[in-house]
Chains A and B, each alone.
Chain A
Amino acid sequence: MIQSRSAREVIFLLSSKIVNHTLLALFLSLILAACGGSPSQPEARTLTVYAAASLTDAFTEMGSAFEASHPGVTLVFNFGGSQNLRTQIEQGAPADVFASANAKEMEALVALDLVAPDAPRVFLTNQLVVILPKNNPAGIASLEDLSKSGLKLVLAADEVPAGKYARQILENLGALYGADYSDKVLANVVSNEDNIRQAVTKVQLGEADASIVYISDAVAVPELQKIEIPADMNVIAGYPIAVLAESANSDLANEFIDYVLSSEGGATLRKWGFTPVGP
């Protein structure tokens, strides 16, 4: 009994010490947080850019260049399916710039007054291409082969801009390969991915036999085999970019957009397989 009481005392002492220390630490961190209100470096600014997944490589490279020429500025990117990013912005995500892979998602934000009507500017065009794993396990040799039954095809979901473009192209190709071509190809789809890069990865891993992705995606993963889509059957995807109406850094945001539209930005876009609209 004596033993149990002393054990209790020890535990009580220990726990009270821990509690006291925790409270002290909390108190101190509150004071520190209150003092931290005035930043030591007034120039430190963060620009948050929401961009279509297909822009991942090009924008990451442009971001580094922009940071280098703007000391104190940090760029934070959120790459994803444009429809996904649009939903996040609608729900109040703190973005400064939005670059979409189609006009639809941008127009949705304009309709909600989240983007000023005259703000969006189309800064590049992109086209699509069929990609195959490097060893082409299904032996696909032509666009027509995509309708052979038993293939494992992965597309971006219908809600994703690239997925919508791909389905549009399949409709267009019906003129060459018969009215049921699109249905036959879509019957081979084994997964509708949330953004285009997920589809690229599934082909790159060899898990899927083919996908229809942006030419720029195929540039980013050079080991993939490609089948070109005839120009008159292809879709020209215009990417708009805009500063968000509620951006706290609209000046900096516009500077970044100007950089994307500049000849230097255009060179980076071209390097990654896009067709820049600017100079």
Chain B
Amino acid sequence: MSQLRKSFFHSKLSPVLEWLFILPSLLLLALLALPVLALLWRAGADGMFLFITQPSAMAALRLSLVTSTFSVLIAIATGTPLAFVLARRKFLGKTVLELLIDLPIVLPPSVAGIALLIAFGRQGVFGTAFNSLGITLPFTTTAVVLAQTFVSAPLFVRAARIGFAEIDHQIVEAAYVEGSNEWQLFRFLMFPLAGRAILSGAILAWTRAIGEFGATILFAGNLEGVTQTMPLAIYLGLERSLNIALALSTVLVFVSFLLLLITRRLENHKNRSANR
């Protein structure tokens, strides 16, 4: 039965119907692929990629790598416990809490930026308290990390939560009966079992953090070497030097593609081992 269904599903349609599906697909594929190809072609053909060695481009590249790495580390350190609790426990208001955690994923980044400014700005709702302690966040590299964490950590929590939830309860029960304590269960059993989901969540979050633009420019401002990450340098560089903008865009295309490839491989591996 399942064999029959599968072969029907994968068989070709009649010629007319076939083109009815292929033509719209080609249109969308063209829209998705052509801009990226044109970008790479311009950057490659005119040797613009070499402009990546310009000091301002290097400063943006370095800042993006450092801040996004910090953002992901924060997401892992605080998001893993949160995901673990959400996957294992049931409590009142859990659905609402999960929605709130997911909200930054769909929130426009400019909204995130204004919200951060209103909350943690020097005159912000909570910022005044920080300010009295001598901590001001806006216009600092810390603000960049906060903005990136705000928009990217939810992606990590979501992936890790699903990873923890998919663990076979019987395995955990068995290990518990065998005498493992709760910390050992987490550290040597559940964390490794959810490892793949955690890793792919971390990579997704990293991709999102590197691409962060709207929240950063509103909350952290724009200063070379301090808050000007790659997306900001691309946007503002467009008016100064198209070359630098193109070079940085090329880097971002390659980095994003590479990270996507890694997550895809992680997911495929998981599916294969699940089917075995």
Contacts and interface: CB of A to CB of B under 8 A. Distances in A.
A87 B223 contact: no
A1 B222 contact: no
A193 B235 CA distance: 12
Interface stretch (A116-124, A152-160, A219-227): A152-160
A84 interface: yes
Given A83-B239, A194-B217, A207 B223 contact: no
A205 interface: yes
B238 A87 contact: yes
A194 B139 contact: no
The SS class assigned to the B binding surface is loop
A273 interface: no
A190 interface: yes
A190 B122 contact: no
A137 B121 CA distance: 14
B240 interface: yes
Query: 7 smallest A-B Cβ distances: which pairs?
Result: A191-B221, A206-B123, A190-B139, A83-B239, A207-B138, A159-B239, A207-B121
Contacts of B136: 152
A192 interface: yes
A8 B269 CA distance: 30
B71 interface: no
Contact-residue bracket for chain B: 20 to 34
B2 to A, nearest CB: 10
Interface of B: 1, 117, 121-123, 136, 138-139, 217, 220-224, 226-227, 235-236, 238-240
B239 A84 contact: yes
Contacts of A73: none
A207 B139 contact: yes
A189 interface: yes
B1 A194 contact: no
A227 B223 CA distance: 25
A197 interface: no
Nearest to B218: A198
A207 B222 contact: no
